[in-house]
Amino acid sequence: MGFSAPRFAARPSVDDGARHPVIVVGGGLVGLTAALDLAQRGIAVVVLDEDDTVSEGSRAICFAKRTLEIFDRLGLGRRMREKGVQWNTGRVFRGAREVWHFDLLPEPGHANPAFVNLQQYYAEAWLVEACLATGLVDLRWKHRVTLVEPGAEGVRLAVETPFGVVGLVADWLLACDGARSFVRESLALPFTGQVFRDRFLIADVVMRADFPPERWFWFDPPFHPGQSVLLHRQPDDVWRIDFQLGWDADPESERQPERVRARVRTMLDATVGPEAAFELEWVSVYTFRCRRLERFRHGRIFFVGDSAHQVSPFGARGGNGGVQDADNLGWKLALVLQGAAPEALLDSYDAERIPAADENILHSTRATDFITPKTAAARAYRDAALALAGEHAFARGFVNSGRLSRPCVLAGSPLSTDGGASGLAPGTPVPDAPVLRDGVATWLLAELGRDFTVLAFGDPAAAPEGAIVVSATPAPGVLWDHEGLAARRFGAEAGHVVLIRPDQHVAAHFDRFDAAALAEARRRAMAA
């Protein structure tokens, strides 16, 4: 069964002039994730989207392990795993020959695989359902924001709808309106970085083919000489093929179905054979960019996802990075709105997510520079690395067809406390591990919940009150670390106490329990 895009009903807004605690502009992947996270924390959210459906075309297809863990907390992880295509192997070809392959499979003992491939439209459709199920997300389709007036007391919006223009006021505004963000433009904020002088044809192709569920990347294949090609499998027999075209290609003529069909045909003839039949589902031509805003928080406005930063897709860091932005902001905004933390907590969004965006931009830029060399020297080094890689394992490390999204370590975060313990450092996302609770198999991450959590390793009797105890031996109510993986991945010994933030990052790692130090770390993690 293929996907059929839902059309959501647009209804008139009858609250002209109303004030809302949180308004999200843009019901795309990131806006919907932010809305769902806030709603699950008890915050009512209004989402305005200019369209009335989900993403056109597959766009973000590679959902990384950390994103799946976030979606697990939001209640959608299992659905994504079950529908998505799980893959761990990437193959790199030069010409017709495989030069090497890599295995992303982390060691066993994680609830989630390295990646699943799933079209962005599935993720968005399920996020919409989940948002509605909370009863706290007010989704308003065909609502285009056309005016943004920031103020100290709130942000005023004018919203164009099929039923006329309405005015709304937001205490806090989340600009999740994508790479061409209208909110960003109306604030006249510079969005700086670089454009890669190249064009890529992105096609979703429906076919039955026996390629394994792997990522295949060709440099200079015989069926598309001088350029690169990327092949990915998605659910529903949909295949994503990216053809590098070069800067001189004409985007208009390249997107003509006849022309795309001819390219795909040539590729299939050379790979699966002339009998393979296919249909085109979606075609687009892109020029990639890496750029970001200087700051992501502007008073009462937060830029989240592509509105804040844009990356080229090699490495799958756009959607994954944006979901991590939403994950970072949700709990902070909820605590501030509930009066449990000061507004200063919101400044840490910049402190934590700007370095994360820079890391994503760095990796995406390096991959794109490798794939699209800018100078004769860059081309020579790239071709040299490829020529060596077949026979010299060391040279494979230079071959960069995308360094796939990894969770960001929030090093140097103002919310972190150095607890003196060696082992997992503050700012690190909590590693998963299989554990048993009263004989029932579960995962460490699944046990953490939505608030701050204290994990205590070792003897339950010595643990702080309210802590989740991770024990090397079974005992009632504890998480029995029966394979020893939790302790190993934390680098924790008996007596260690770890304070974990609501977004599952380590706030402090102590080598022993000290009530005052723990309370202080918790205050700091809330910027109090």
Partner 1 sequence: MSGADRMGLDDPDAVFAALVAAHAGLDEASSRRLDAMLVLLLAHAVGDTGRVMAAIAEARRLI
Ligand X SMILES: Cc1cc2nc3c(=O)[nH]c(=O)nc-3n(C[C@H](O)[C@H](O)[C@H](O)COP(=O)(O)OP(=O)(O)OC[C@H]3O[C@@H](n4cnc5c(N)ncnc54)[C@H](O)[C@@H]3O)c2cc1C
d(CA 470, CA 24): 38
Please work out the total of residues on this chain that contact ligand X, with binding judged by CB under 6 A.
33
48 binds ligand X (CB under 6 A): yes
Q: Token pair of 62, please?
A: 């590679």
In the complex, the smallest distance separating the C-beta of residue 369 from partner 1, rounded to whole angstroms, is 15
Residue 279 contacts residue 191 (beta carbons within 8 Å): no
Is 371 a residue that touches partner 1 (CB under 8 A)?
Answer: no
Return the CA Rg of the chain: 24
Distance CA 289, CA 313 (A): 9
Binding to ligand X in span 361-420, by CB under 6 A: none
Please list every residue from 406 through 425 that binds partner 1, using CB under 8 A: none
What does the CA dihedral 233, 281, 318, 326 come to, rounded to 10 degrees? Answer: -100
For 9, which DSSP code?
A: P
Binding of residue 5 to partner 1 (CB under 8 A):
no
| Part in contact with partner 1 (CB under 8 A); list of ranges 76-84, 105-113, 383-391, 472-480 | 383-391
Residue 175: strand pairing partners: 25, 303
Using CB under 6 A as the criterion, what x/- string covers residues 93-112 for binding ligand X? Answer: --------------------
Selected from 23, 29, 168, 264, the binder of ligand X by CB under 6 A is 29
Kindly state whether residue 35 participates in binding ligand X, applying the rule CB under 6 A: no
| Residues 193, 293: Cα–Cα separation, whole Å | 9
- Residue span binding partner 1 (CB under 8 A) among the ranges 204-212, 297-305, 387-395, 469-477: 387-395
**Structure letter (DSSP) for residue 375:** S
Position of tokens 């076919």? Answer: 207
Instruction: Determine the angle formed by the axes of helices 65-74 and 318-337, rounding to 10 degrees.
Output: 40
Among the listed residues 385, 424, 468, 518, the single contact to partner 1 using CB under 8 A: 385
- Say how far apart CA 35 and CA 47 lie, in whole Å: 7
d(CA 431, CA 445): 8
Which residue, 394 or 439, is less far from partner 1 as judged by CB?
394
Q: Binding string to partner 1 for residues 138 to 177, with x set by CB under 8 A, is what? A: ----------------------------------------
Residue in 249, 398, 436, 462 binding partner 1, rule: CB under 8 A: 398
Of 19, 78, 392, 523, the one binding partner 1 by CB under 8 A:
392
Check binding of 388 to partner 1 (CB under 8 A): yes
Q: Exactly one of 214, 220, 347, 383 binds partner 1 (CB under 8 A); which one? A: 383
Sign of the alpha-carbon dihedral angle for 222, 225, 228, 230: negative
Is 509 within 8 Å of 522 (Cβ atoms)? Answer: no
Residues contributing to the site for partner 1 (CB under 8 A): 376-377, 379-381, 383-385, 387-388, 392, 394-395, 398
Residue ranges that bind ligand X, judged by CB under 6 A: 25-31, 48-51, 55, 59-62, 120, 144-145, 176-178, 182, 202, 286, 305-306, 313, 316, 318-320, 322
